[in-house]
Amino acid sequence: MTDDADGRGTEDVNLTEKINQTNVDERVSSLEAAYDEVPVTEETFELSPDEYADVFAATRGTGYSGNSVVFVTRDGTDFPELSDQIPDQAAGDTRDRVLLVLGRGADVWALPGGGKGGEYESVQGTAVRRVNEQTGIRCTVTGVAEVVHSKYYPDTDAQGSVHTLDIYLEAEYKKGALDVDESEIVGAAWFAEPPERLTPGAEERFAAFLDDSDE
């Protein structure tokens, strides 16, 4: 077995690449089998030896192969009756809402979900479970907004690559009231309009949501 520039065996790198890419391909295939449309965007990155070593270690050491978050919407007419403390005019606001969370130590709102899946758990199963754990909300996945397939290569002659997926699922509110898991997040709320600070992924999804609402 030969060593590459970072001291890893070539066979070791190639084996990791094969396992990593197979896992990613299987996740995409499972989504394609479950939903009519699964848009996939591919991005390629060439990294310095140090940067590539970090990505390689993170995926190999933790089993990380990407993230699945959920764009959960709620019908604005589906909220409970107003309490006695709320002005009557608030009843006229029946706009649809989007569920967003604020992570611990974060200053931007994001989509709920993420986290590592169980051994026999589907991508969508993991995402729905994580939304409920974080926010107390139960939802039903209705489709896939986008899958971003990122490929990381060393910018040297060394062999190997790392593959990850960032999956944006669409879902509808099913039941439950906000109950924040403060061990993970510090806030969760339903938004009719996007807050000032959003993660890029949440911002893109919210913009598409508002465009669809205007049609």
The pLDDT of residue 18: 53
- The domains found in the chain, sorted by start residue, are 10-78+95-214 (3.90.79.10)
Question: What mean pLDDT comes out for the span 14-43?
Answer: 83
pTM score, whole prediction: 0.85
Q: Please tell me the least confidently modeled range out of 24-28, 47-51, 85-89, 154-158.
A: 85-89
In this prediction, residue 143 carries a pLDDT of: 96
Q: What tokens appear for 87 in the block?
A: 């002005």
Predicted pLDDT of residue 7: 46
pLDDT on residue 161 = 87
HSE-up (13 A, CA, CB side) for residue 90: 9
What are the tens digits of pLDDT across the range 150-164?
999 989 887 788 899
Residue percentage of the chain with pLDDT more than 90: 58
Encoding tokens for residue 106? 């974060």
| pLDDT above 60: residue 79 | yes
Q: Which residue has the tokens 């990613």?
A: 24
Bigger pLDDT: 191 vs 14: 191
